Structure 1
Amino acid sequence: MDYDNADDIDNNTENDLYAIITGFEDNVAPNKPTVNKVDNNDIVVTGKAEANSTITVKAGSNQLGTAKTSSKGTYSVTIKKQAAGVTLSVFAKDAAGNTSAASTTKVVDVIAPTKPIVNKVDNNDKVVTGKAEANSTVTVKRGSTVLGTAKANSSGNYSVPIAVQSAGTKLTATAKDAAGNVSVATTVTVVDVIAPSKPKVNKVDDNDLKVTGKAEANSTVTVKVGSKVLGTAKANSNGNFTVKIKAQKKGITIAVTAKDAAGNTSQATTLKVVRH
């Protein structure tokens, strides 16, 4: 080998330099690298390739990073996090400048959707609505019982049909993406919007100092004459109530209503005071 023109080595290509140093020209490309799974949390791409080769990772024509393999062929290329579904191409280039065919891998989605937003649900509702990750599947449960599922649209809006639930029932809603990742649950309590039934009121005469009857259990019963409140009392767990009042004259019309814990008030039951 002629080393008289060593000053010209700096002008040679990488291939020429390799040939000068090793005594032969390498024109065989490395094998395709092996690539370990890459997910949308990862900031490195790892795998194996030809020892001491240079690994390049690309997304389309965009180069994300490069690194040299170890003497055992392992590599770790630092990249920015990539979105799920992005296709990465990984190449190995040896010291002679030969580049392998690309190994491709898709970025796997391992990030669960955010908790769904759930609109108010009341004890008249037959659907649960809100917003979740676009195209995710929303599941509504009562405890471990699935009440319904539906797919969110491309804007994330969803509407899950359910059977009407009792006031105070706790519902949970979760969103599952196409990769099977499930969000943390959002919990809502079914709101009471249904007013109690009209109270049943026993006869009241002009000697009576109380009004009795039956109303929704634990509701608050109010007795009025016009806009004037004569008295209030709470119905017991069986719905029985006794409201203390002053004696009223015969012919006076009294009105009796029941209000539940959610503030819903029944229609009034009216009756006229009779003579004792």
Structure 2
Amino acid sequence: MTKIVVYSKDHLIPLQNTQNNQIVLNKNSLVLIHHPKESIASIERSGTSAIIHLKNGETIVLENFFNLEGTPENQIVLSNPQGYYDVMLLDEQGQLIQYNPVNNINVLANSPNWISSTQVNAIQAAADESTPWYSSNIIKGGLALVAAEALYLTAFKKDDDKDNTPKDTIAPATPKGTLDEAGKVITGQTEANAKIYVIDANYNVLAEVQADASGNYKLSLSRDIVNNEKVYVYAKDAAGNSSSLLALTGTKDTLAPEVESAQFSEDGAFVTGKTEAKAKVYVYAEDGVTVLAGPITAAADGTFTLNLNPPLSSNDKAKVIAVDEAGNKSTAYEVIVGQDTISPAQPLIEVSTDGTLIKGKGEVGTTVQILDANQNVIAEQVIGSDGTFNITLNPAMTDTSKYSLMLKDSAGNQSKAVELKLGLDTLAPEEVQATLSDDGKKLTGTAEANSTIEVKSGTTVMGTGQADASGKFEITLTTALLNNNKATVIAYDAAKNASPSLEITGTKDTVAPNKVVLRTVTDDIGDSKGSITSDSTTDDSQPKFEGTGEAGATITIYNHGIPIGTTVVTSNSTWSFTPIKPLELGEQSISFTQMDAAKNTSDMSDAFKFTVVAQVSVSESEENIDVESLLSEDNGANSNMRCDSFKSLMIINKLSKFL
């Protein structure tokens, strides 16, 4: 397997250290692949993924490597056996232009990920001019650095040859560490004198310290890490090598639970609702002090039911409060006997980038209200029977607008408000419509316009692509989907909302059936009937063969390798065959193959051997046969006993009737 390290492009913080050939990039990244450039066969783009083919047959898939315009959001670096690194320089379409050497990957922080054809031509032309090429206005910032190393590869290697100082390229081991219960302090161990950094999910550095000579460290975070937030610890040695990340989770719970819904029964005898799983739930009187019911513990899915004794009367009010295991207390949720007090769920919405259109999905029959900063309703619409809404804003909202959206039902219950922003998108694409080609290699279909399509079998990505402006897409799978194996197809919009998954099945059959199984061979004529066993004799020249095979397959029967007939396996996987033409007397060697509907043929079965002899009727005259005269029979040439082997067999067969 190939070792791959993913660094953040801005600060070169290690994000992943893996041997997994399927990598999802969630941030502008530098991908270090521990292979020399000579091992790369090709690189190609599939949707927003980069697919790297190695000469050893391995394939590396980097998801989200390209943006929707086709230019790479990330950079690929290869390790070089001579101690430096080779950077893949790509054009706007992700095509490889050349490899550029760098001494240290630290110089690549915030450098360009790609170079335009105009810039390539300018760099090459500048190399022949007397004016320094790097003074050209076309060459900017980090691009100049990358291009300079490319143009002067020879000089680089000469300089490198002069430097015989051993280089430390070994990263420290992943540090060990523990976050205290309060989420304030991390203590642990790492490489002696290494620098320890702590970052959050947004790559903000929360603390840094140098380990002592024994590798011990302790640092206080700039803010508390609580409520299952994760932070990441890594070590960097004096040579600049960074370790993998150690993830630590702040387990202290400071978030109050929420009563999502609560409703009285019509007779006021009980309250049902939903809150945080395992929270303690109480029903208080309208004064918020007197406990009417509870506590009870909410189920694993958060649902609860509390009985009131005595029941409350019509229009009586009460308050439901939940307290989680950490002691955090929810706000009160008011319930009224005889009234609907269940709030609509928050809708899923999409706001256009120009602020003119808001569309979404929500509870049928509720009213969508858009509110300004002063909570004035500036637009509203009732959600129809299909559960969708489309609201046009005139004038359009801007990036400074303080708008919110909520749903209101006929009882006056309101959903949580959603703060609106240009481009906000919580609305998932519709399910993909797709068809797999007969050979299982190509998927065509329609999805949300400009969405990214991903095809997966289990955890393995088989292909990615992008729908065009009309929603059409075509994806060539990296591996054909065959033999009733299944895969899922999901569309992701620009906000990474996932559509419902579509299951597809590869119907092409490339698997040959198993060998034919012969169960019985039966003699059903003559005086001696019954089962014929291997290497036995029979006087039935048309015995019945029976066995099992693949349903619907065609079985070919061979005798001494020559086909003598066919039969079809029934739906219950059984078959039978009786030769139309009698088998000749003597030894038989019967074998079988089966071919399924896709023309896949099984291996030849083991041969079943037996001998067919002539039929003999036992008559009254035969019972008085003269054995001596029988043994003296010849072919008319002389009186000596000169029988051929077949005649001897016939004589023995006749004699056996009297033994």
Q: Which one has more relative contact order, counting CA pairs under 8 Å at least 6 apart? A: 1
TM-score w.r.t. structure 1 length? 0.49
